Amino acid sequence: MRITLRRPDDWHLHLRDGDMLAAVVEASATRFARALIMPNLIPPVVTGADAKRYRQRIEEALQNAGVDSGFTALMTLYLTEDTVAQDVLNAANDGTVLAVKLYPAGATTNSASGVASIDRVMPVLEMMADNDIMLCIHGEVTDPSIDIFDREARFIDTVLDPLRKRLPELRIVMEHITTGDAAQYVSESERNLAASITTHHLMINRNHMLAGGIRPHYYCLPIVKREEHRQALVKVATGTDNRFFLGTDSAPHTRTAKLSECGCAGVFSAANTLECLATVFDEACALDRLEAFTSANGANWYGLPLNNQSITLEKRSEELPCPPPIAVGDDLLVAFDPARPIFWHLV
Ligand code: DOR
Ligand code: ZN
């Protein structure tokens, strides 16, 4: 069996910098037409000038890797309490950035410069609402007294819903949703809210990470939840509501950083995401919805044209091998293990 789709876009991608950027850029650029690049570098991508320079480094990495696939890196700015509204407006108006990313301070990898108080960024958010600049949100509370498995649901009630009531014109993407609560909240919202979903959250639950041994390569944030939540995500990803789209959150860390006493959060899924997604949609008898999820819903939400190129996936009798580890300096980067045999292959 074969299916042909418009070339996909990835609406949430970590490409990093330096050696890691050089190691991972090809995996995304040869598969996806466009990707929305996350700004959580050290130091973060805060100003329009930072974003221009980072995009230049990504383009250089593409050239050095000999990748000539017409890949477009769409940039984001990292919102801090010192962000200047006029700088964001200039960067959006001149096409440097497509969106602004809000990390609650301390929520995840390299989020120390994030937002501790929404009140302090209200002037920037008001400007964004007035100028239709998209806000991408990492939706987890950071209160240490809240259980890590409840942090997304709590964020909806205590931060996201009040913010949406305060600024109903602001267009928001709830990034990498992981719960039935978030799927339902987005489904029931009337306007100006969408959600990205990762490949790994459609495939694994917390048992994959913790039962029968701890598997640090499945540790990511927001953390994977119970099976019922995975099923709720599959339901909306394969359903007819066009506000759900792919953001892989492919987030590379070296093997040493993952297998450590305090291991980093992130799953590197760029190299086998499309084959994995075909498997998920096939299992759900929804292959006819795959193209909307990977190649149309996100572009339509961001108001960008659909891609004209296409890709073909084929279901074969032989299994797709897990992508081999990639060398990064003198370390390795381990690819996402989908926890089931994959029979779909990218042609
Ligand atoms: O698992 C994650 N890794 N979640 C995030 O939000 C950040 C990302 C990273 O940058 O490593
Ligand atoms: Zn991310």
d(Cα 110, Cα 255) in Å, to the nearest integer? 18
Q: Are 151 and 141 in contact (CB under 8 A)?
A: yes
Q: Is the CB of 138 inside a 6 Å radius of any atom of ligand 1?
A: yes
The pair of structure tokens assigned to 82 is 């010192």
Predicted pLDDT at 110: 81
Predicted pLDDT at 265: 98
d(Cα 243, Cα 291) in Å, to the nearest integer? 14
Predicted pLDDT at 109: 77
Q: What is the DSSP letter of 139?
A: -
Q: Is the CB of 40 inside a 6 Å radius of any atom of ligand 1?
A: yes
Report the residue among 10, 78, 155, 249 best suited for mutation to probe ligand 1: largest number of ligand atoms under 8 A from its CB.
Answer: 249
d(Cα 84, Cα 47) in Å, to the nearest integer? 8
Predicted pLDDT at 161: 98
Q: Are 224 and 178 in contact (CB under 8 A)?
A: yes
d(Cα 199, Cα 224) in Å, to the nearest integer? 12
User: Tokens 């950083």 correspond to what residue?
Assistant: 257
Predicted pLDDT at 136: 98
Question: What are the Cα distances from residue 141, in Å, to 176, 267, 327?
Answer: 14, 21, 35
Q: Is 332 helix (H, G, I), strand (E, B) or coil?
A: strand
CA nearest 134: which of 292, 301, 341, 313?
301
- pLDDT tens string, the chain, 347 residues long: the values are 999 999 999 999 999 999 999 999 999 999 999 999 999 999 999 999 999 999 999 999 999 999 998 999 999 999 999 999 999 999 999 999 999 999 999 877 788 889 999 999 999 999 999 999 999 999 999 999 999 999 999 999 999 999 999 999 999 999 999 999 999 999 999 999 999 999 999 999 999 999 999 999 999 999 999 999 999 999 999 999 999 999 999 999 999 999 999 999 999 999 999 999 999 999 999 999 999 999 999 999 999 999 999 999 999 999 999 999 999 999 999 999 999 999 999 99
Report the residue among 15, 21, 40, 142 best suited for mutation to probe ligand 1: largest number of ligand atoms under 8 A from its CB.
Answer: 40
In the reported structure, the alpha carbon of residue 2 is separated from the centroid of ligand 1 by a whole-number distance in angstroms of: 33
Positive or negative torsion for Cα 254, 75, 115, 164: negative
Length of the chain: 347
Predicted pLDDT at 112: 82
In the reported structure, the alpha carbon of residue 305 is separated from the centroid of ligand 1 by a whole-number distance in angstroms of: 28
Q: How many helices (H) and strands (E) does the chain have?
A: 14, 13
Q: Is the CB of 257 inside a 6 Å radius of any atom of ligand 1?
A: no
Q: Is the CB of 39 inside a 6 Å radius of any atom of ligand 1?
A: no
Positive or negative torsion for Cα 94, 77, 102, 232: positive
The pair of structure tokens assigned to 217 is 């390569």
Question: What are the Cα distances from residue 194, in Å, to 60, 132, 214, 224?
Answer: 32, 14, 33, 20
CA nearest 137: which of 166, 161, 119, 165?
161
Q: Closest ligand 1 atom, CA of 40?
A: 10
Predicted pLDDT at 326: 98
Question: What are the Cα distances from residue 243, in Å, to 48, 128, 246?
Answer: 28, 20, 10
One-letter identity of residue 238: T
CA nearest 35: which of 60, 64, 1, 70?
70
In the reported structure, the alpha carbon of residue 78 is separated from the centroid of ligand 1 by a whole-number distance in angstroms of: 14
